[in-house]
Amino acid sequence: MSGFPTLSKSEFTASLVRAKQERGISFEELGKAIGRDEVAVAAIFYGQHYATLEDIVGLAKALNIDKNLLSSQLSGFPDRGSGVEMPPKEPLIYRLYEIVQNYGQAYRAVMNEKFGDGIMSAIAFSTKVDKEVDEQGNTWVNISMRGKWLPYSRF
């Protein structure tokens, strides 16, 4: 059943971020500590991803938080999608939204051509963020997304 943390979503995000700040630990290190990707860890912080009991125990240890407290905050199925106002006003998130707006039709046309009639799942899905510095010293962000291809059922 759905979990109802005793804190509101933005309050428990704030308390997790504070603990992370005090420990001076990065999302990447937290991810390594519990065997998950850094983006998934950040999504757990924002209440947008499910944390198993094992994840909770690992995070509590890494963040030096009481395991039971964290468990009461994170248990249950997250109410995803509730944190971002759309269209996003935050400039970094807006750029991602703009990519969907500008390239959405092109992605669809290419996927239909390569895969047929269906969608890329956002559920059977994972994603990563990598940093690249090119030869001129410019910094680039690389986002990779991997989603299962789901063909439409025939009925």
Q: How remote is the C-alpha of 82 from its chain's centroid? A: 13
* Catalytic hit among 18, 80, 95, 146: 95
Active site residue 154: no
- Rank residues 64 and 101 by Cβ distance to its own copies and give the closer one: 101
* Catalytic hit among 8, 26, 121, 126: 121
Secondary structure element (H or E) that encloses residue 105, with its range: helix 91-115
Active site residue 121: yes
CB of 104 to its own copies, least distance (A): 4
d(CA 148, CA 37): 18
Active site residue 98: yes
CB of 132 to its own copies, least distance (A): 7
- Rank residues 61 and 121 by Cβ distance to its own copies and give the closer one: 121
- Could you tell me if 109 and 32 are in contact, meaning their C-beta atoms sit under 8 angstroms apart? no
- Rank residues 42 and 60 by Cβ distance to its own copies and give the closer one: 42
CB of 29 to its own copies, least distance (A): 10
- Could you tell me if 108 and 101 are in contact, meaning their C-beta atoms sit under 8 angstroms apart? no
67-74 helix and 53-63 helix, angle to the nearest 10 degrees: 130
Q: How far apart are the first and last CA of the chain?
A: 32
As annotated, the active-site residues are 95, 98, 121
